[in-house]
Amino acid sequence: MSAWPSALAIVIGVLAVVLLQQAPPDRPERPYVRNLNALLFEGLWDHWTTNSTGDLDVIYELAGSEALVGRTCLVTGASRGLGYWIAARLASLGCNVVVAARSGSDELALNITNDAATLSPSVAEKGLVRAVKMDLGDLHSVGSALDTLRGQHVVLDVAILNAGVAPSSGWKTPHGLEAALGINCIGNAYLMEQLLERGLIPNAPKHADFPRLVVVSSESHRTVAPLNLTTLAEFEDYGMAEGMLFYGRSKLCLNTFWSEFVRRSKTRLAVHGLCPGPVATSIASDAPAHLQPLIDVFMSSFQPSLKAATPVIALAASSRYNGDTGVYQHMSHRVPVRADAADPAKGSALYDKVQSIIQQALSQKS
């Protein structure tokens, strides 16, 4: 990438982040913001100072040990971007992959299979890829997808919860929830619990290295005000200037939930989370058309999805994490989640609130 596009991307990025941190004057409580610029450039620096495929030591480890051969993994949000390449990399390492997406087509499974065959390092016995339709914004859709998998006698060794949205304006899920909250937090919370409840993730022996569950989150959870549980489920409209704040709120909710999920878990399920860093994806695809060229230039400085998939797969399968649970990373670096996301009292209160939201959503007709 030449110097001028890189410089332009940085300028656009700084301006975008600064604008996204500004709250309208009638909402003074919103700018509880850490320096998102620092998070952005930390990720860009890591990307620019490593090779184009990332730290492949873990991939060679998994290829050499064949640790994933014959195992089964669920990857959500796998129709494109990060989820797609996580699924392809896993299949190249011999893992049987269930890709969950709103499309959930046989064509998607075939495309991932074909791309998996091009990746190196890999193993001789490639994994099988199948697709299932799942919309995390609709809890009835989540339940239906899991029933389909249970009917196929699927038992998971790994679940990677990658699906998420970054809306540029306020819109509602089928349950009337603000989309970022409803998909990124509530949908993922329901999926986590139902994977165990419906037996898709088994109750493993005490010292087993699997099963594992990996939650793809974001460092934007550090940039927003503490959660207000009283108004959490209330829909509030917003525009582009506040989109990142609602996205960050949803990720704070998600990190708080899975941290409490770890504390409450009575099984030998290892649960980890991470922010993959800045990734060149289409997560902002609903932004206005006239801004897409600028977003494309901005995204061109980010790491490709295949590179960003490496630390996700490390958490999902590497022996480096044997015996661990509750690990959170920014890219490949272990860091703690934000203090209030790790607080047991706040976690317990949020967990109960999420359960209430889920029950109310499920009471609605599909």
Per-residue pLDDT of the chain (366 residues; tens, 9 = 90+): 444 444 444 444 444 444 444 333 343 333 344 445 445 545 554 544 554 445 789 999 999 999 999 999 999 999 999 999 999 999 999 999 999 999 889 999 999 999 999 999 999 999 999 999 999 999 999 999 999 999 999 999 999 999 999 998 999 999 999 999 999 999 999 999 999 999 999 876 655 789 999 999 999 999 999 999 999 999 999 998 899 999 999 999 999 999 999 999 887 899 999 999 988 866 555 556 666 566 565 656 688 999 999 999 999 999 999 999 999 999 999 999 999 999 999 999 999 999 999 999 999 976
Which tokens go with 192? 């986590």
Which tokens go with 64? 């050499």
Mind listing the pLDDT tens digit for each residue in 103-135? 889 999 999 999 999 999 999 999 999 999 999
Which tokens go with 119? 């990746």
Give how far the C-alpha of residue 174 lies from the chain's centroid of Cα atoms, to the nearest Å: 21
Q: End-to-end CA distance of the chain, in Å?
A: 48
| Backbone phi, psi, residue 130, to 5° | -130, 160
In sequence order, which ranges of the chain are alpha helices (DSSP H)?
Answer: 3-20, 36-48, 57-65, 81-92, 106-116, 139-151, 179-180, 188-197, 240-264, 292-299, 305-317, 339-342, 344-363
Mind listing the pLDDT tens digit for each residue in 204-235? 665 578 999 999 999 999 999 999 999 999 99
| Beta strands 328-330 and 333-334, pairing class | antiparallel
**Taking a C-beta distance cutoff of 8 angstroms, is the pair 100, 132 a contact?**
yes
Q: What is the pTM of this model?
A: 0.86
Distance CA 86, CA 214 (A): 12
Specify which residues 98 forms β-bridges with: 74, 130
